[in-house]
Amino acid sequence: MSEYKVTKKKSRLVAPENRQRAAFSCDRCKTKKIKCKRIGDGGDGNGNGNGSRCMSCDKLGLECLTSIPRRRRVYSSYENLGMHYKSLLTLVQGLYPDLDINDIDQVIKLGESMGTKMPKELPENELGTMELESKILKPFSPRLESPKTQNIISNHTTPQSKLGTTPEELSSKQHVQTPSEFPTKDTVVIDSRGDRHYVGSSGTSVLFTVLCDLLLKRSYRTNLSFDYELKLFQNKVDNQSKAQIADLITKESNFPIVKFINREESDKYINFFFKYFHPFFFIFDEENFRLKYEKYWEILGSNNIIGIQDKLSNSFVGCIYLIWLTCSKHINNSTQILDINKIFEVLQIILSDVVLASTINSIQFLYLFARYLHSTKNRDSAWNLIGLAVRQAISLGIHKKIMSKRTEHSTLTSQVFWSLYRTELTLCSIFGRPSNINEDEIDVDYPNLQTSYPNLSEEFKIYYIKVTKLSRFLNKIIKERKNSYQQQQPISLINIERTLLLKNQLIQLYQDLKIISIDQIQTIYEFKLNLVYNYYMVTLTLPFMVYISSTNYQVLNDETLLNLMKTGIYASLEISKLLIKATELKFNKGSVAMDCIYAYPATLVSAFFYIYLSNTSNDMISIKISPDLIIDKKELIKIISNVLIFMESSKLDSTTLRIYEVIKGIKNDLKLVEIQDNLKFDFLDFINGSDQVFDSLLTNDDIYTNGFDMGAGLGL
């Protein structure tokens, strides 16, 4: 075997005049990574010398520039270079959260706007064989911690490091923002059947989990005052014996037209619905409905079924049954008990027909069915049915002016569409989900109530048009919240500016619609309109309240954010006053009980700000809303108490009753936090207790098998 002697090559220096390549390259050759052969003064045509032009640029007749500095060699490992790269991108993203760091053009524009000389890109026609993909920065996203593992409080350290820190020292520390601090994220929850359901990060059910976390971490208790073993959705349909339904089908030749109750009891339900509920379920022409309702009883009482012309559609019959179920919860002097299980099974059979065809009656049925399920904690099913109703409305074209004019009952189709519009957007806001409605495609007019329904009260006509116009603003709020949460930085300058713009637009709409103040309210329509307005204002500002409470952001250092906080707190205060006003005016308990949905976000705002004021490292003990109005922890508890007083005096269904239980529990837990203020609970360690409890709240599927629908019971 031959042996080879390995010798170490000696480094040598070459004089510039003897170099085999140019001392530097022009910009074009450097970008294209080709040999730059210099010609002209000082060059020999072989690439030697420092001539003013290169052969490539000269051949193409281009200006030969040398402005790009030589690259500096960095001697480091691949891992260190990668960490350096990620750290710089994270720093830029943290300083400019609205900047897309994966877009080189945006990064270059940012540098130029700051007066920094940035590298120039060549036009595409001069890129030669260079691939366009090489221009694109490979996507990079900093790792975000999950809500279960990250510390909610930004200044959280070990108990040992906090023992020597005073509240004054903590409050003097400037809060440092990082892109991953905002803990609310999209989530998927599991119901009792194991089905999965998506809840967006802007939905109040997700915000509620943040509140649970804060309550557990800020008290000695390892559980909450209320039953926190919650179920976000309850979509389980009780399957009764099909033998009963089969018996009905064989006995009733006009199934699903079945005599479940007598005529007198049915009339009581129908009259109650149109007096108290229909103004807020405005989807029928009452005169036309009653004509068809008479035919329902004519068919039941006739022996010659074949002789009756124009048999009622199954969807309209389903509407009658749904009115019975809706009103049966609010009428105490009923002489006959409804067989709810049997009627519900008939409704499911009708639903199988309704989904196959689009008619006005089918849309009305889906709307009523969704509203009924909404009150029985089947909230996800309600959202699905409203979405289907919107699809059917769009398929009929009733969202377009040209199609509405071609229909015989243009006013009816218009009122049906706008009622769908309001309900669908409200549910989307509650769940944090996208809407099926494209605002740009809608051009149908508002219904002409003056000529079509002369028997309606003037107060209702004014209310309906105003609340419909106001509801169109909710679409803007949903879109803004989506943009805010996608960027994981709700307090970025551009998000705050957009929110302030929406706030000013909403205030202008308040003035244009001439919404009266609380002390002037006399009718339920004035009450509802004012309540919806303040609900939209709370919805607009709630994400910022979540952020400042969960990160202990120093609010007094940010005037714009302080402005938004004052807006949300004031709107919450107004909602609590409105509810007390409704109690004083003794509005019908059935028609106002559903307004707990609007009251729940107000309690969330109050609870989040209460927690912020209870933190020893915050920068305020109260907030001055106006020269004569100061909100402290005592006033925040009063806001929540007013909501509870309203609910105690209302006739609650299963959903609103659960809202009441949770709000009452939140109030009790906030009082525990208040007791611990003097103990400086921020310095305590809860790793062995509450963290484990809250982790189980998020991760264990079995806790969703009993209890309540968090999404439903929380006005979600």
- Tell me what pLDDT residue 366 has: 96
DSSP for 638-704, please give it: HHHHHHHHHHHTS---HHHHHHHHHHHHHHHHHHHHHHGGGGTGGG---TTTHHHHHHHHHH-GGGG
Quickly state the pLDDT bin for 712 (edges 50, 70, 90).
very low
Q: Distance between CA 396 and CA 407 in Å, rounded?
A: 10
Q: Distance between CA 306 and CA 308 in Å, rounded?
A: 6
DSSP 8-state code for residue 557: G
Residue 427 has pLDDT above 80, yes or no: yes
Residue 160 has pLDDT above 90, yes or no: no
121 lies in the same domain as 91: yes
Q: Distance between CA 48 and CA 17 in Å, rounded?
A: 7
* Least confident range of 117-121, 342-346, 620-624, 667-671: 117-121
- Tens of pLDDT along 239-278? 555 667 777 777 777 888 888 999 999 999 999 999 989 9
Domain enclosing residue 50, as ranges: 16-60
Name the nearest CA neighbour of 430 among 468, 382, 501, 363.
382
Name the nearest CA neighbour of 704 among 61, 97, 128, 192.
192
Alpha carbon separation from 335 to 340, 357, 652 (Å, rounded): 15, 37, 21
Quickly state the pLDDT bin for 220 (edges 50, 70, 90).
low
Burial class from Cβ neighbours inside 10 Å (0-12, 13-18, 19+) for residue 627 reads: exposed
Domain count along the chain = 2
Tracing tokens 């709107």 back to the chain, one arrives at 571
- What residues does 584 pair with on adjacent strands? none
DSSP for 121-172, please give it: PPPGGG-TT--GGGGSPPP-------TTTS-SSTT---HHHHTT--HHHHHH
- Tell me what pLDDT residue 146 has: 32
Query: Could you tell me if residue 114 is inside a domain?
Result: yes
Query: Could you tell me if residue 269 is inside a domain?
Result: no
Tracing tokens 């019959």 back to the chain, one arrives at 317
Query: Could you tell me if residue 632 is inside a domain?
Result: no
Q: Distance between CA 479 and CA 99 in Å, rounded?
A: 19
Residue 185 has pLDDT above 50, yes or no: yes
Average pLDDT of span 426-434: 85
Name the nearest CA neighbour of 693 among 219, 234, 196.
219
How many residues appear in the chain? 716
Comparing 339 with 603, which gets the higher pLDDT?
Answer: 603
Quickly state the pLDDT bin for 179 (edges 50, 70, 90).
very low
Q: Distance between CA 582 and CA 233 in Å, rounded?
A: 30
- Tell me what pLDDT residue 236 has: 52
From 135, 156, 177, give the residue that closes a domain: 135
55 lies in the same domain as 95: no
Tracing tokens 């350096």 back to the chain, one arrives at 84
Residue type for position 543: P
- Tell me what pLDDT residue 509 has: 93
SS3 content of the chain, % helix, strand, coil (to 5): 60, 5, 40
- 699 within 8 A of 148, measured Cβ to Cβ: yes
Parallel, antiparallel, or unpaired: how do β-strands 623-626 and 196-199 relate? unpaired
Query: Could you tell me if residue 473 is inside a domain?
Result: no
DSSP 8-state code for residue 356: T
Residue 279 C-beta-side C-alpha neighbours within 13 Å = 25
From 113, 135, 157, give the residue that closes a domain: 135
Tokens of 12: 């040598």
Query: Could you tell me if residue 118 is inside a domain?
Result: yes
Tracing tokens 């309109």 back to the chain, one arrives at 529
Q: Distance between CA 597 and CA 419 in Å, rounded?
A: 17
Query: Could you tell me if residue 48 is inside a domain?
Result: yes
Helices 524-551/596-614 angle, 10° precision = 30
Enter the pTM of the model. 0.67
Comparing 625 with 17, which gets the higher pLDDT?
Answer: 625
Q: 623: part of which helix (H) or strand (E)?
A: strand 623-626
Q: Distance between CA 642 and CA 638 in Å, rounded?
A: 6
Query: Could you tell me if residue 112 is inside a domain?
Result: yes
Comparing 168 with 55, which gets the higher pLDDT?
Answer: 55
82 lies in the same domain as 117: yes
Burial class from Cβ neighbours inside 10 Å (0-12, 13-18, 19+) for residue 68 reads: middle
Residue 86 C-beta-side C-alpha neighbours within 13 Å = 10
Q: Distance between CA 658 and CA 648 in Å, rounded?
A: 12
Helices 493-512/559-585 angle, 10° precision = 40
Residue 119 has pLDDT above 60, yes or no: yes
Query: Could you tell me if residue 122 is inside a domain?
Result: yes
Residue type for position 442: I
Which residues have a Cβ under 8 Å from the Cβ of 556 and sit 6 or more positions away? Answer: 562, 619, 620
From 118, 135, 152, give the residue that closes a domain: 135
607: three-class secondary structure by DSSP: helix
- Tell me what pLDDT residue 386 has: 94
Tracing tokens 């996203």 back to the chain, one arrives at 141
